[in-house]
């Protein structure tokens, strides 16, 4: 209908970028909550939480922006994913609310501190698992009819999505532990060095399992990867290379590189997923173009976003700059 | 009993939005108050103003934080429970809701941080400007959300092709017929809320003899404001009603409990609307007054519910009584403001304990009035989700089953009850802590590695006696 201008690729880029930003940034702070029960003592937990306290809410703004951005640019994604993941969305939101509130009150609490620690940890784990289930649901596809979801209440909770949920837990925990290597020192940093190889092994296990399972489940994915040798094989190669870099950096006890390499694993896995599924955004039936809103609606919002996104990026960069350096015990406490 | 996903989804939305609404309606008013205080502090250098501003900024921080947390759920409810509605209206509502979020981020990313943490770090002029811009931002944010809401009442600038709405005129859709009235009515309601809370808290401090000079100043200025705003709100509400009469006559009929189209319609003070019988029981009213209010003529003809097919009528009982609660509380607010004016002679307004006590209680009334007002207008829109275009049942998520909606309804009630209890408890701690314990400069207490986030701007410990 709008042959004059096609904003769908631009919007796909914006939303894709937003989701990537969210996964990388909220990933390492959700990771702190996942690692919380395994931390050695309460003092370490304080430092872990403090290392992400100044930035976590900025990280979550990408999620809200992504939610409303999808409604504006790709409404079909919004109106199929949310009903299909109805109970999962509740788990995700309840988890995020509990851990968000825990951030504030744990710092102010004395006698009830342990309650807020639990709230932070359980909230983070639930929210992460739910996000993994969203990814799994996307890969396995949705039962739709005439642009509406017509499947069941637990379609999102299958052995496959449980696997992706666990994979997300391992992945965010890995982001969290390499973040701690970057941001802490002494005993806590040594602990982070110790647990990182285990977490990496778990991530690799899930990565391999999903990579075998997905083409078996979806003929389209199978033909894309195996019909003829194509350049998309560079993406898993990039992920493997990032893993190798991570292992080497851990052995050399480097501080910054492990986190960067972990982000590399995520980016390549994410691009690999996109290469497997796009342009299908509500698989198996609907493409980005089927899911898109009217061209004039996409344009109307694009104007505002082009103005705001650079500003949000600048602010984000500035916050990370202000809070750069190692986090020490007692910092940020009163 | 069969669980009805439609009823449960409506209950869930009403619960979540009511719970969320009480926070922004307060922060919008409070943001403007803080800007005024900062303006006074900047101009006069009188420490009273900055003492008040510091204190109310701390309250603002906590309430704003709770508003953000409860608001996240709203952004997803449209999709989970009302996916057909979202699908049909996304071309318009998607960009509008996104603009609301984008405005909020822009605000938070910039000037809110300065307001909460920058008092001693930026020049006074820049700080004042930030306070003004935060207040402006809250208005812009509410403009977008009320534009979306008003469009659902008085849709315009769109055209249905297939089962999708397309925007034909952004200007007509955004500035739809009921927006100017709804926006003004809501902004004034925010001022009333902020005003009555400040007045009530100041009165409570005066009753306890704490920080007398600052709280007298606060009480005096808010009472002047309320004396102006409370009657003005009654007038704007009347205009809003006339606009509704033009575009949604059925809602007015329900508000008046008027079943038949006739002249000389009484203003009912009490009645028991009976939808089955399509009439009222136990009517008590002032003859001709409703006709006079709506047509400015005692003998004017006012449309009744007989103009509307039964299945297109809103639930009259709920609309009728919500409206009366709102108006009743509005009149009470006017009375409180006028009483304050009378007591000003000899400064009795600061010392009469019965008056200060009533003001303390009155600080809750605007919240109830706002919710009653929203129930009037939202229930009165029924059975339409988008007036004249889409009915409630057409907007519901097709795959949603009753037990799913019930599960999340209970879930949200539990989650919100826990969060609300913690938040309210903490707010009470801040109020009891008062202005006396405030540091005079942020530098002496602010650790460098502190989050730049609303609640972190407050240093009161969570538990009693834990300082």
* pLDDT for residue B459 is more than 70: no
Q: Chain B: give the shortest CA distance to residue A265, in Å.
A: 29
CA atoms lying within 13 Å on the CB side of residue B302 = 34
Confidence of residue A83 (pLDDT cuts 50, 70, 90): very high
Q: Which chain A residue lies closest to B110 (C-alpha atoms)? A: A315
The number of beta carbons lying within 10 Å of the beta carbon of residue A119 is: 24
Q: Does B171 touch chain A (CB under 8 A)?
A: no
* pLDDT for residue B447 is more than 50: no
pLDDT of residue B179: 93
Q: Does A71 touch chain B (CB under 8 A)?
A: yes
* pLDDT for residue B140 is more than 80: yes
Q: Does B459 touch chain A (CB under 8 A)?
A: yes
pLDDT of residue B454: 61
CB A170 within 8 A of CB A199: yes
CB-based contact A53 B451, cutoff 8 Å: yes
Cβ-Cβ contacts under 8 Å, B399 against chain A: 83-84, 86, 148-153
Confidence of residue B174 (pLDDT cuts 50, 70, 90): very high
pLDDT of residue B330: 94
Kindly report, residue by residue over B17-50, the tens digit of the pLDDT: 888 888 989 999 999 999 999 999 888 988 888 8
pLDDT of residue B445: 41
Confidence of residue B358 (pLDDT cuts 50, 70, 90): very high
Kindly report, residue by residue over B249-258, the tens digit of the pLDDT: 888 888 888 8
Q: Chain B: give the shortest CA distance to residue A153, in Å.
A: 8
* pLDDT for residue B299 is more than 70: yes
Confidence of residue A331 (pLDDT cuts 50, 70, 90): low
Q: Does B383 touch chain A (CB under 8 A)?
A: no
User: CB neighbours of B345 closer than 8 A, spacing ≥ 6?
Assistant: none
pLDDT of residue B34: 92
pLDDT of residue A4: 59
Rounded Cα distance, B206 and B32, in Å: 23
pLDDT of residue A1: 46
* pLDDT for residue B464 is more than 70: no
Cβ-Cβ contacts under 8 Å, B95 against chain A: 72, 297, 300-301
* Minimal Cβ distance to B79: which of A54, A78, A297: A78
Q: Does A325 touch chain B (CB under 8 A)?
A: no
Kindly report, residue by residue over A228-238, the tens digit of the pLDDT: 777 788 888 89
pLDDT of residue B281: 83
* pLDDT for residue B158 is more than 50: yes
pLDDT of residue B203: 93
Confidence of residue B100 (pLDDT cuts 50, 70, 90): confident
Cβ-Cβ contacts under 8 Å, A81 against chain B: 79
CB-based contact B419 A90, cutoff 8 Å: no
Classify the complex by whether its ipTM is higher than 0.90, answering yes or no.
no
Kindly report, residue by residue over B404-430, the tens digit of the pLDDT: 889 999 999 998 888 888 888 888 888
* pLDDT for residue B466 is more than 50: no
Q: Does A299 touch chain B (CB under 8 A)?
A: no
Greatest CA separation for chain A: 64
- The more confidently predicted of residues B52 and B453 is B52
In angstroms, the Cα distances linking B366 to B26, B29, B146 are 9, 11, 19
- pLDDT, average across residues A227-249: 86
Q: Could you give phi then psi for residue B46, rounded to 5 degrees?
A: -75, 120
* pLDDT for residue B380 is more than 60: yes
Chain A residues 145-164 with a CB less than 8 Å from chain B = 147-153
- The more confidently predicted of residues A219 and B170 is B170
User: CB neighbours of B10 closer than 8 A, spacing ≥ 6?
Assistant: B392
Residue B366 lies in a domain: no
pLDDT of residue A333: 38
Number of domain units in chain B: 1
What is residue B456's DSSP assignment? Answer: G
Confidence of residue B448 (pLDDT cuts 50, 70, 90): very low
Share of chain B above pLDDT 70, in %: 92
Domain boundaries defined on chain A: 8-320
Buried b (16+ CB within 10 A) or exposed e, B122-131: eeeeebbbbb
* β partners of residue B167: B158
**Residue B36, both tokens:** 């005024």
- The more confidently predicted of residues A204 and A55 is A204
Residue B149 lies in a domain: yes
pLDDT of residue A221: 80
Residue B197 lies in a domain: no
pLDDT of residue B443: 41
pLDDT of residue A334: 32
Cβ-Cβ contacts under 8 Å, A82 against chain B: 76, 79-80, 83
- pLDDT, average across residues B214-234: 91
Lowest-pLDDT range of A31-35, B201-205, B279-283: B279-283
Percent helix, strand, coil in chain A, to 5, is 80, 5, 20
Residue B271 lies in a domain: no
Share of chain B above pLDDT 90, in %: 35
**CATH C-level class of A8-320:** mainly alpha
Which residues span the domain enclosing B407? 1-176+401-467
Cβ-Cβ contacts under 8 Å, A104 against chain B: 65, 453, 455-456
CB-based contact A75 B426, cutoff 8 Å: no
Residue B424 lies in a domain: yes
CB-based contact A68 B98, cutoff 8 Å: yes
Cβ-Cβ contacts under 8 Å, A312 against chain B: 105-106, 109
pLDDT of residue B440: 52
Average pLDDT, chain B: 85
- pLDDT, average across residues A157-177: 94
The number of beta carbons lying within 10 Å of the beta carbon of residue A283 is: 20
Q: Chain B: give the shortest CA distance to residue A4, in Å.
A: 17
Question: Which of A59, A70, A75 is the best residue to mutate to test the B interface, defined by the most B CB atoms within 10 Å of its own CB?
Answer: A75
CB-based contact B90 A327, cutoff 8 Å: no
* pLDDT for residue A45 is more than 90: no
- pLDDT, average across residues A199-217: 89
Q: Which chain B residue lies closest to A310 (C-alpha atoms)? A: B106
Q: Long-range contacts: A57-61, Cβ < 8 Å, 24+?
A: A57/A100, A57/A103, A57/B451, A57/B453, A58/A25, A58/A315, A58/A316, A58/A319, A58/B109, A59/A22, A59/A25, A59/A26, A59/A29, A60/A22, A60/A26, A60/A96, A60/A100, A61/A312, A61/B105, A61/B108
* pLDDT for residue A211 is more than 50: yes
């Amino acid at each position: 209908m709008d042959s004059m201008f096609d904003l769908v690729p631009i919007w796909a880029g914006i939303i894709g970028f937003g989701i990537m930003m969210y996964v990388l940034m909220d990933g390492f702070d959700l990771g702190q909550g996942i690692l919380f029960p395994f931390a050695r003592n309460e003092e370490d937990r304080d430092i872990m939480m403090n290392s992400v306290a100044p930035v976590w809410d900025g990280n979550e703004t990408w999620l809200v922006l992504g939610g409303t951005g999808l409604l504006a640019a790709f409404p079909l994604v919004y109106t199929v994913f949310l009903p299909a993941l109805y109970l999962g969305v509740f788990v995700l939101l309840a988890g995020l609310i509990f851990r968000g509130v825990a951030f504030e009150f744990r710092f102010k609490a004395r006698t009830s501190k342990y309650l807020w620690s639990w709230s932070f940890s359980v909230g983070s784990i639930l929210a992460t698992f739910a996000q993994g289930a969203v990814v799994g649901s996307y890969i396995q596809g949705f039962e739709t009819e005439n642009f509406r979801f017509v499947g069941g209440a637990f379609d999102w909770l299958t052995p496959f999505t449980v696997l992706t949920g666990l994979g997300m837990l391992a992945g965010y925990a890995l982001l969290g532990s390499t973040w701690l290597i970057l941001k802490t020192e002494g005993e806590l940093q040594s602990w982070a060095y110790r647990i990182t190889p285990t977490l990496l092994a778990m991530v690799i296990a899930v990565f391999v399992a999903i990579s075998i399972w997905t083409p078996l489940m979806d003929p389209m994915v199978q033909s894309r990867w195996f019909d003829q040798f194509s350049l998309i094989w560079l993406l898993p190669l990039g992920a493997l290379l990032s893993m190798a870099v991570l292992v080497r950096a851990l052995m050399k006890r480097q501080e910054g590189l492990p986190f960067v390499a972990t982000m590399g694993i995520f980016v390549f896995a994410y691009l690999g997923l996109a290469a497997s599924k796009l342009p299908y955004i509500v698989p198996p039936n609907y493409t980005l173009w089927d899911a898109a809103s009217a061209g004039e609606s996409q344009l109307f919002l694009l104007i505002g976003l082009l103005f705001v996104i650079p500003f949000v990026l600048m602010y984000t960069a500035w916050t990370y700059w202000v809070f750069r350096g190692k986090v020490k015990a007692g910092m940020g406490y009163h | 009993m069969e669980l009805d996903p439609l009823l449960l989804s409506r209950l869930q939305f009403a619960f979540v939005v009511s719970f969320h609404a009480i926070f922004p309606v307060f922060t919008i008013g409070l943001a403007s108050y803080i800007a005024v205080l900062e303006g006074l502090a900047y101009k006069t250098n009188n420490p009273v103003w900055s003492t008040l501003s510091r204190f109310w900024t701390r309250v603002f921080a906590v309430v704003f934080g709770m508003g953000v947390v409860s608001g996240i759920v709203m952004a997803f409810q449209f999709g989970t429970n009302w996916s057909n509605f979202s699908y049909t209206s996304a071309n318009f509502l998607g960009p509008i809701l996104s603009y609301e979020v984008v405005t909020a981020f822009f605000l938070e990313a910039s000037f809110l941080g300065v307001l909460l943490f920058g008092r001693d770090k930026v020049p006074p002029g820049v700080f004042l400007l930030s306070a003004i811009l935060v207040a402006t931002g809250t208005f812009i944010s509410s403009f977008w959300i009320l534009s979306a809401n008003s469009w659902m009442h008085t849709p315009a600038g769109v055209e249905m092709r297939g089962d999708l709405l397309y925007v034909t005129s952004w200007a007509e859709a955004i500035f739809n017929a009921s927006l100017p009235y709804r926006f003004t009515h809501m902004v004034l309601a925010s001022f009333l809320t902020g005003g009555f809370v400040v007045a009530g808290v100041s009165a409570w401090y005066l009753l306890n003899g704490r920080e007398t000079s600052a709280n007298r100043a606060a009480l005096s200025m808010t009472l002047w404001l309320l004396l102006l705003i409370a009657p003005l709100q009654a007038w704007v509400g009347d205009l809003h009603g006339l606009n509704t009469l033009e575009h949604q006559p059925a809602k007015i009929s329900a508000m008046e409990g008027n079943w038949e189209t006739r002249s000389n319609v009484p203003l009912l003070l009490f009645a028991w609307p009976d939808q089955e019988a399509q009439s009222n029981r136990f009517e008590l009213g002032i003859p001709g007054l409703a006709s006079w209010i709506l047509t400015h003529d005692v003998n004017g003809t006012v449309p009744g519910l007989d103009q509307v097919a039964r299945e297109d009528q809103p639930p009259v009982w709920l609309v009728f009584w919500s409206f009366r609660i709102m108006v009743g509380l509005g009149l009470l607010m006017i009375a409180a403001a006028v009483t304050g004016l009378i007591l000003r002679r000899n400064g009795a307004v600061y010392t009469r304990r019965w008056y200060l006590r009533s003001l303390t209680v009155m600080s809750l009334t605007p919240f109830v009035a706002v919710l009653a007002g929203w129930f009037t207008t939202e229930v009165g829109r029924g059975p339409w989700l988008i007036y004249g275009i889409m009915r409630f049942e057409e907007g519901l998520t097709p795959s949603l089953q009753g037990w799913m909606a019930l599960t999340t309804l209970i879930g949200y009630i539990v989650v919100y009850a826990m969060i609300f209890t913690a938040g309210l408890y903490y707010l009470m701690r801040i109020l009891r802590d008062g202005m006396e314990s405030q540091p005079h400069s942020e530098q002496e207490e602010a650790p460098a590695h502190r989050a730049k986030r609303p609640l972190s701007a407050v240093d009161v410990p969570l538990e009693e006696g834990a300082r």
